[in-house]
Amino acid sequence: MRKRLKKYLVFIKEINITDMTEKEKKTFRTEMLVQIGFFQHERLVHLIVMVTIAVFTFFSALGCLVWPGILIIVLTGLLMVLLIPYIIHYYILENGVQKLYEYYDKIMK
């Protein structure tokens, strides 16, 4: 999804809105709203997964304090290793969607 978002952002940057007719602008805005919807859905799904992993990580870290053992420490480590890529991926999605909002606002003017 990251590649698709970056590719779409490059595509949007290269579009010259001033050369478009009103009908082309309307069609382009409609298509852009569909793409924004796809990315918003992806962002929501990753937010839910990221928060779930974060909650599990938090509770397993608390478990390390209450019941210190090798298995719970390993579980906490694995969850932290899993949480970091989710945070990075969500960060990229969030910033990409915010850029799409900015481009959409420019098109609307």
Two tokens, residue 76: 């906490």
Closest CA to 35 of 92, 86, 96, 82: 96
Domain boundaries, the chain: 2-6+25-108
pLDDT at 104: 86
pLDDT at 68: 87
d(C-alpha 103, C-alpha 28), whole Å: 12
pLDDT at 83: 93
> Average pLDDT by consecutive 10-residue portion of the chain (109 residues)?
85 82 86 90 92 95 90 93 92 90 84
pLDDT at 26: 86
pLDDT at 28: 86
Q: Between 22-66 and 70-108, two packed helices, what is the crossing angle to 10 degrees?
A: 160
d(C-alpha 70, C-alpha 62), whole Å: 14
